[in-house]
Amino acid sequence: MRILVFDSGVGGFSVAREIGKALPDAGMDYVADLAVFPYGALEPDVLIDRVVSLMDEALSALDPAALVIACNTASTLVLPPLRARFKLPIVGTVPAVKPAAEHSRSRMASVLATPGTVKREYTHDLIETFGGDCRFTLVGSQRLAGLVERQFSGEQVTDAELLAEIAPCFVEDGGKRTDAVVLACTHYPLVLDRLKALAPWPVEWIDPAPAIARRVATVTEGAEPSRDEGAPNRFYSTGRRPGRAMLDAFGFVDGEAFFRDDQPKSDADGVKAGKTALSI
């Protein structure tokens, strides 16, 4: 059995790591759409068309037992169209509002996310439905996901840069203060040790990856062998790729490109929807 993990960048490695723990005998393929990272810069219809197009090609080529959309920004938009088009189990990643509300004793929690996730109606509906009497502060970090990408490409990222992105999560009011922070971007758990060390005070950091892995294990129970059963975990990208050290750390090898097309580059804001060559 093989699992396909998809993200706009390397953040999905935090989810792949937990899937590996929950399903040690399963193989994984990872697709990163680094040609247009970050997804928050894309208009919703462009993002939907792009992800559906990429998954058309990836699912045909890789034959997974399940697809994991390890990206909050994408999941808040693309899960319905993907589930309408494809028959395999599809597991998304959405802000863990309910666990935060359940764990917060001060009744003050924050959602640390990308601007795209913060502005989605889906995120606000989660808080309305599952937040109860917990007061949520929504923090749309402009730079944190990119800082994580930079760190894992070997560049120096300072403590001051990270602290500036997480500081708005820490709120004091009326003698109470934030005691839970939802990591609503899969990039963020990759630098969790640094975030904990920089936090103004201790909080519970809510990482959804273990719950996602448990869900994947449930929906793939009894799945038939995949086409490339026994192949190593493989990494594919529409653009650049992480350094060899990062792929080694997460147990992935370079995958051969499985299609090449005339994916258009486009306007000043990024790219139009369509296909991109997935390669090393």
Domain residue ranges in the chain? 2-93+211-254, 97-207
Please, which residues have CB within 8 angstroms of residue 215's CB and are 6 or more apart in sequence?
91
185 is a catalytic site residue:
yes
- Fold for 2-93+211-254, please state it: Rossmann fold (3.40.50)
Domain 2-93+211-254 matches domain 97-207 at the CATH topology level: yes
54-111 pLDDT, tens digit per residue, is 999 999 999 999 999 999 999 989 999 999 999 999 999 999 999 999 999 999 999 9
Predicted confidence at residue 30, as pLDDT, reads: 96
- The CATH class of 97-207 is alpha beta
Average pLDDT of adjacent 10-residue blocks, the chain of 280 residues: 95 96 96 90 92 95 96 93 96 95 97 93 95 97 94 92 98 96 96 97 96 97 87 91 85 74 38 44
Question: Taking the model in full, what pTM does it have?
Answer: 0.87
Predicted confidence at residue 260, as pLDDT, reads: 43
List the one residue out of 22, 74, 5, 6 whose CA is nearest residue 210. Answer: 22
134 is a catalytic site residue:
no
Predicted confidence at residue 258, as pLDDT, reads: 63
For residues 142-157, one letter each, b for 16 or more C-beta atoms within 10 angstroms of the residue's C-beta and e for the rest, the string is eebbbbbbebbeeeeb
Residue of 185, 203, 216, 273 marked active site: 185
Residue of 58, 71, 144, 212 marked active site: 71
